[in-house]
Amino acid sequence: MFLEHNSHDLLYRTPHGAVKTGTKITLRLSIESASIPKKVECILNNTAISMHYAFHINSTRIYECEFYSPDEEGLVFYYFYCECDENKLYYGNNSLCLGGIGEAKECAPEFLYQITVYDKNFKTPDWAKRAIFYQIFPDRFCREGETPFHGIKREWNSEPFYKKEQFGGEYLSNDFFGGNFKGIIKKLGYLKDLGINAIYLNPIFKSPSNHRYNTSDYEIPDETLGTTDDFKELTKTASSLGIKIILDGVFSHTGADSVYFNKYDTFDSLGAYQSKDSPYYSWYNFYEFPEKYESWWGFDTLPNVCELDESYLSFILGENGIALKWLRLGAIGWRLDVADELPDEFIEKMRTAIKKENKDSFLLGEVWEDASKKESYGKKRRFLLGKSLDSVMNYVFRSAVLDYLTLEDSSLFLKRISSLYENYPKEALYCALNLISSHDVPRALTPLSGAPDFRTIDRNAQHDYVIDENSLHLARKRMRLAFTLQLTLPGAPSVYYGDEVGLSGYADPFNRAPFPEDKKDDFLFSHLKKLIAIRNSTPCLQTGDFNPIFYKNSIICFMRSISGGTDIFGNKCTNGSVLVIINSSSFDDTIELDLGRFHVHSLYDMLTEEAFIYKDKITFNMPPFSQRVLHLERNENECIKIQSTQK
């Protein structure tokens, strides 16, 4: 007896992927057996549903069941059971839990298929689905004019401190290069020319550190960045250029050196550390007042807050609270630091507050895993079910891209991307920040060079590591492929400042070097700029469907398409299809494609500006580390969906 179910194939599961509450779902199981099965069941959230015979495909029997997704958002898990003669088999998800084709076993499966059921009213901002983000670490992007430094003043072209001795014996991260709001304003023309239309700023609020994740005062910017008026000028100027700005909100903890805790008596306020009569005392959880208190990951410089405390909620999310104040000053949304350490109730209240202020506001969360099934502190999270975050920083995407480009497993890469496409509501997936570098991970150029994993070497070794010429040449070729994947797969591309000019470096602080005014890697920059222009002018690369087409050796091929005059969200949109082919290896290879079902008469490579006439089949030679972004010209407008071809 042979069983098969493929959750990525509409033959086996309709509709594909995450569904709205109250949606009719059809699941099918194919069975090859000598005799008619006695019992076929789908086990749905531990409840058995009988499956009935539907039809034959050659000698294979197809059984199916139909049901409606629950009226309340959540996750539905399922597997199958089949009994035929003396044989009993179970069929569940594969051991990688990536969906698609599963595995048959003689016992109940450990790994189950997932259906994400989200609120039928879930809607994310349309602008975010079409955005090209640029992430800026404010102290290191650009300095313009005089800056009132605090901490240790550094020269712009020097390297960040990385030893505690450099800070005077304690690692304080208080070396400042003086990047400021006026500097960002100065560079807005550069970003506009690159094609950027959204900026994500790391924390800007008053803080003793250069990263500012230990907030001292949410009400004002850090003085090294400028004033509130400078921020308003930044958002106003950016808006005039069609660039939106989201801010980094650190709401799970404050700094111990803050208006609210005031452990070091820095501020003219009665902090929670100083007195139980402090207006902020209820924000914190003291075990033994005042020295023992709950803190973020045990760092006593970062006391945790009680996010659901009424006073704290009012301060952050009230009508005149912090969240709305900065939206009114020109920001369009928030990125929530360590979202998995914030209560669902807090995030849901924040969503309600900012959407009431501006329905186009954007709420992004820092989540490193598949956010649809994330658990933290023993609780399943509700991040992508429609009443919480709009979307997340897509670290899963980053890992998949870097692994594919260095390990060259084309099959696994497409499975990982397809898993996100299956598990995330499209409203969330299409505005997930597709990053390949950030302030929390090594810059992509470093792992792409074949450098040792940063977790295996100490900070001194990371500082001393130099990418040799041959490895850098390899890394730059791979980086171009990473940019291509970033700009053509579903999601909102997010470029970390300096990646476009070839900055490298391990994790914090080596990934936070000042933007080099005298450095420009045109091999990377021109490629990225062209890709951004292609994406900004090609609707199907923004909100088109995604179909994996082909994988072979180190080659992948996928299609983005819009047909019938509407995109994947049902919005009126120009029809179009783009075929993307990548060869991630150092060897020549070829790919033969049969595109007849698409009624294709020609193809145009938008990167190289080459044109190809299509007859019957077409073969592409794919040199090492090569890519093609092919616009399909059709004989008719109607786009016919295709099934994946795997070799």
Fold of 253-306: Oligo-1,6-glucosidase; domain 2 (3.90.400)
How long, in residues, is the chain?
647
Helices (H), 97-254: 126-129, 181-194, 228-240
The residue from 340, 344, 366, 567 that is catalytic is: 366
Q: Which CATH superfamily is domain 126-252+307-535 in?
A: Glycosidases (3.20.20.80)
Tens of pLDDT, residue by residue over 440-461, are 999 999 999 999 999 999 999 9
Catalytic annotation present for 366: yes
Please state the three-class secondary structure of 254-323 as a single string.
Answer: CCCCCCCCCCCCCCCCCCCCCCCCCCCHHHCCEEECCCEECEHHHCCCCEECCCCCHHHHHHHHCCCCHH
Fold matches, 126-252+307-535 and 253-306 = no
The residues near 101 (Cβ < 8 Å, ≥ 6 apart) are: 4, 5, 6, 94
With tokens 């069975």, the residue in question is 31
Supply 285's token pair: 């959880």
Fold of 2-118: Immunoglobulin-like (2.60.40)
Question: Three-class SS of residue 439?
Answer: coil
State how far Cα 46 lies from the chain centre.
32
The residues near 401 (Cβ < 8 Å, ≥ 6 apart) are: 413, 436, 482, 485, 486
With beta carbons less than 8 A apart as the criterion, state whether 18 and 7 touch. Answer: no
Q: How many CB atoms lie within 10 A of CB 246?
A: 25
Cis omega (within 30 of 0) on the bond before 15?
Answer: yes
Ranges of residues in the chain whose predicted pLDDT is under 70? 636-647
Q: In angstroms, what CA-CA distances link 504 with 254, 398, 463, 515, 530? A: 31, 16, 11, 11, 22
User: What angle separates helix 344-357 from helix 310-317, to the nearest 10 degrees?
Assistant: 30
Q: What sign does the CA torsion over 173, 174, 175, 179 have?
A: positive
pLDDT of residue 518: 83
- Domain residue extents for the chain: 2-118, 126-252+307-535, 253-306, 540-646
Cis omega (within 30 of 0) on the bond before 221?
Answer: no
State how far Cα 227 lies from the chain centre.
31
Q: How far is the C-alpha of 412 from the C-alpha of 404, rounded, in Å? A: 8
**605, amino acid identity:** D
Q: How far is the C-alpha of 296 from the C-alpha of 484, rounded, in Å? A: 37
Q: How far is the C-alpha of 176 from the C-alpha of 160, rounded, in Å? A: 9
The residue from 73, 337, 390, 422 that is catalytic is: 337
Supply 418's token pair: 């397809």
pLDDT of residue 638: 42
For residue 571, is it left (φ>0), alpha (ψ between -120 and 50) or beta? beta
**369, amino acid identity:** E
HSE (side-chain half, CA atoms, 13 Å) at 537: 9
Q: How far is the C-alpha of 363 from the C-alpha of 339, rounded, in Å? A: 11
With beta carbons less than 8 A apart as the criterion, state whether 373 and 397 touch. Answer: no
What CATH class is the domain 540-646?
mainly beta
Q: How far is the C-alpha of 385 from the C-alpha of 124, rounded, in Å? A: 12
Tens of pLDDT, residue by residue over 296-327, are 999 999 999 999 999 999 999 999 999 999 99
Q: How far is the C-alpha of 584 from the C-alpha of 237, rounded, in Å? A: 40
Supply 537's token pair: 């002018």
With tokens 């309340």, the residue in question is 72
Pairing assessment for the beta strands 60-68 and 645-646 based on DSSP bridges: unpaired
- Short-list 239, 282, 213, 249, CA closest to 351: 249
Helix and strand numbers, DSSP H then E, in the chain: 14, 37
Q: In angstroms, what CA-CA distances link 141 with 437, 496, 525, 532? A: 15, 10, 17, 21
Q: How far is the C-alpha of 342 from the C-alpha of 374, rounded, in Å? A: 13
Burial of 97 (0-12, 13-18, 19+ CB in 10 A): middle
Supply 163's token pair: 């030893």
Return the bridge partners of 355, or none.
none
Q: How far is the C-alpha of 196 from the C-alpha of 536, rounded, in Å? A: 9
pLDDT of residue 647: 30
pLDDT of residue 636: 54
* DSSP 8-state assignment for residue 489: S
Question: Three-class SS of residue 138?
Answer: helix
Q: What is the per-residue DSSP string for 407-424?
A: H--HHHHHHHHHHHHHHS
Tens of pLDDT, residue by residue over 590-633, are 999 998 888 899 999 999 999 999 988 999 999 999 999 999 99
